[in-house]
Amino acid sequence: MHDHDHDHAPIRDAHAPTVYERRAHAIETLLIDRGIVTADEVRRGIETLDSKTPAQGARVVARAWADPAFKTRLLADAKSAVKELGLDPGASTVLRAVENTNQVHNLIVCTLCSCYPRSLLGVPPDWYKGLGYRSRAVVDPRGVLKEFGLEPGPEVEVRVYDSTADIRYLVIPARPAGTERLTEEELAGLVTRDSMIGVARARTS
């Protein structure tokens, strides 16, 4: 447990536009003004990004829960395994899946900006991009998890993975007990975005 005598701003607080968001907006405006792209092209690009949701990642996790052979392939070569399901693994050079167990809990962060497996999880939440999460997840992962209502026991090793421009991570959350008779579709309904980042467990129902 992380104890000290100063407060942190809550990670999930709403925030004003970051310097990167303001910069992106300025670049977008400049490109449109110079005729390099059109506003319609920008809109269609945003719509494509918005069409990606955590449902894609949930399908991957559900298949891994239901098919041990697929999970083995996913842990060995996530990009190839994701393609087996007809899904886009994203443009990063490497996609790596890491599995939560009774002994290990994995947490994903991008300390430099907000690198994230958008093709599988959609647009990252604001808190993932915020300085509070990015700066604290590495130095105080248990404190961060506690803010999300998750407290792994002292016997559980917490591992933090830092995404980069070349590598993205997907957490395979632990499969809830009592779900042996569920279909893959039903299993996918238990998988949340936050559980695939590592700040939550999968739903139990």
- Annotated catalytic residues are 110, 113-115
End-to-end, the C-alpha distance of the chain in Å comes to 30
**Helical (H) or strand (E) element with 170:** strand 167-172
What are the residues facing 99 on neighbouring strands?
172
Which H or E run includes 105?
strand 104-109
Name the nearest CA neighbour of 173 among 150, 203, 143, 152.
Answer: 203
Determine how many CB atoms are found less than 10 A away from the CB of residue 156: 15
